[in-house]
């Protein structure tokens, strides 16, 4: 039996903390090398864990004419092109006859609710030219699968959740902070809700609030102005962190807060749960990473979020109990478990291509 050839589109640079890039690396490392041959892109320096694997081929993206280089690779006889994106290369390959792309199956992995916020004309063109025209669709949750059908009338064939390395992300022996520490980690943009974290800091001066992540569109300055205006002294903006740094910070925090209303299954909530943190999120996207009232809280309004946060801040025993349950719950999302679901899906997709 020939190996299944898979081309993943996200780049896998060591310093890339984008969720898709992190997911691709974990999947590629766990696909059976007797069954799969994987190609991965990088721009500067690839994740060193990927080096030396006979089943993984690393290709450096050129500084110029990237679209042509990616298109050439796409048309070189792959069974599966995974993680189709809103790029000129994906747009173009989907307009070629299947014979010219040598029968490659284009797979769209929906990892969140598909909603463009103030898209440019170019982005809208790419979105409309890629999203409805792929061959196979997967979704990170049932909620996202329903959104795909609602948006473009396409049935999702596979529910493929994100995972977490439960061997890396582990709880500390104990949490001994004299003052509860609340953590936000994610892109520092308005739709992720860090401004609600600042408001929580004003409301709960008996806790410390840490905001981690890369700022976009100058939103860190918006937060600094909010902090100054409210005279909040228990909130810090700490910028982007590596995975190793994030792990150590999570081990030194007590609660994870994600006030975003537009997600799928936030990877960071899996990582927080794996380190034994209770999480507070909005229930809008129905993430399975948090069991409401057991491993944290899923809330409907900002006021409910504040109430849940207050409960956790004031109850050390509840934090410990929920954190322990979170660690137990997240075992089903260990990459060692989840990657088998991805592998089985890719084997089935490749077999369907040949039938």
The owner of tokens 């999480």 is 279
| Residues 82 and 132 reside in one and the same domain | yes
Q: Residue 253 sits in a domain of what CATH number? A: 3.40.50.2000
In this prediction the pTM is 0.93
Containing structural domain, residue 20:
4-163+334-354
Q: Which two tokens stand for residue 211?
A: 């905001």
| Residues 103 and 122 reside in one and the same domain | yes
| Residues 312 and 194 reside in one and the same domain | yes
Give yes or no for residue 354 having a pLDDT over 60. Answer: no
- Give the Cα-Cα-Cα angle 305, 307, 310 (nearest 5 degrees): 110
How many distinct structural domains can be found in the chain? 2
| Residues 99 and 229 reside in one and the same domain | no
Please state, as a whole number, how many other Cβ atoms lie within 10 Å of the Cβ of residue 288.
17
| Residues 16 and 119 reside in one and the same domain | yes
| Residues 13 and 157 reside in one and the same domain | yes
Is residue 57, in this structure, part of any structural domain at all?
yes
| Confidence band for 172, pLDDT divided at 50, 70 and 90 | very high
Average pLDDT, the chain: 95
Is residue 170, in this structure, part of any structural domain at all?
no
Is residue 301, in this structure, part of any structural domain at all?
yes
| Residues 237 and 135 reside in one and the same domain | no
141: closest CA among 334, 7, 352, 333? 333
Is residue 227, in this structure, part of any structural domain at all?
yes
The three-state secondary structure class of 188 is strand
| Residues 102 and 130 reside in one and the same domain | yes
Is residue 48, in this structure, part of any structural domain at all?
yes
Is residue 243, in this structure, part of any structural domain at all?
yes
pLDDT, tens digit, 9 for 90 and up, residues 102-150 = 889 999 999 988 877 778 899 999 999 999 999 999 999 999 999 999 9
Strand partners, 46: 13
The 8-class DSSP code of residue 26 comes to: H
Please state, as a whole number, how many other Cβ atoms lie within 10 Å of the Cβ of residue 66.
15
| Residues 289 and 228 reside in one and the same domain | yes
| Residues 121 and 197 reside in one and the same domain | no
| Residues 217 and 142 reside in one and the same domain | no
* Model pLDDT, residue 77: 92
162: closest CA among 269, 301, 84, 73? 269
Is residue 169, in this structure, part of any structural domain at all?
no
268: closest CA among 294, 295, 292, 250? 250
| Residues 238 and 158 reside in one and the same domain | no
pLDDT, tens digit, 9 for 90 and up, residues 58-78 = 999 999 999 999 999 999 999
Is residue 113, in this structure, part of any structural domain at all?
yes
Exposed, middle or buried by CB within 10 Å (0-12, 13-18, 19+), for 111?
A: buried
- Give the Cα-Cα-Cα angle 190, 294, 264 (nearest 5 degrees): 35
């Amino acid at each position: 039996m020939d190996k299944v050839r898979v081309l993943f589109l996200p780049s896998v640079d060591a310093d890339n903390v984008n969720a898709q890039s992190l997911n691709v690396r974990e999947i590629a490392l766990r696909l059976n090398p007797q069954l799969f041959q994987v190609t991965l892109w990088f721009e500067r320096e690839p994740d060193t864990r990927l080096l030396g694997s006979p089943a993984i081929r690393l290709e450096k993206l050129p500084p110029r004419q990237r679209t042509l280089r990616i298109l050439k690779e796409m048309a070189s006889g792959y069974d599966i092109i995974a993680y189709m994106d809103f790029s000129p290369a994906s747009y173009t390959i989907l307009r070629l006859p299947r014979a010219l792309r040598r029968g490659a199956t284009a797979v769209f992995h929906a990892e969140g609710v598909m909603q463009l916020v103030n898209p440019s004309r170019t982005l809208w063109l790419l979105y409309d030219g890629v999203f409805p025209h792929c061959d196979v669709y997967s979704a990170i949750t049932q909620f996202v699968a329903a959104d795909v059908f609602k948006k473009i009338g396409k049935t999702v064939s596979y529910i493929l959740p994100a995972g977490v390395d439960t061997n890396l992300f582990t709880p500390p022996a104990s949490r001994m902070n004299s003052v509860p520490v609340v953590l936000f980690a994610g892109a520092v943009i308005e739709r992720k809700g860090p401004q609600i974290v600042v408001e929580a800091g004003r409301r709960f001066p008996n806790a410390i609030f840490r905001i981690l992540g890369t700022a976009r569109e100058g939103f860190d300055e918006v937060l600094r102005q909010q902090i100054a205006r409210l005279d909040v002294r228990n909130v810090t903006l700490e910028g982007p962190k590596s995975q190793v740094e994030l792990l150590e910070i999570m081990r030194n925090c007590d609660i994870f807060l994600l006030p975003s209303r537009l997600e799928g299954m936030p990877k960071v909530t899996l990582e927080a749960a794996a380190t034994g943190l209770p999480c507070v999120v909005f229930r809008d996207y129905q993430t399975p990473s948090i069991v409401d009232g057991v491993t944290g809280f899923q809330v409907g309004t900002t006021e409910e979020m504040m109430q849940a946060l207050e409960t956790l801040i004031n109850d050390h025993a509840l934090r410990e109990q929920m954190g322990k349950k979170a660690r137990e719950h997240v075992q089903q999302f260990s990459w060692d478990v989840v990657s088998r679901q991805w592998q089985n899906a890719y084997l089935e997709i490749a077999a369907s291509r040949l039938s």
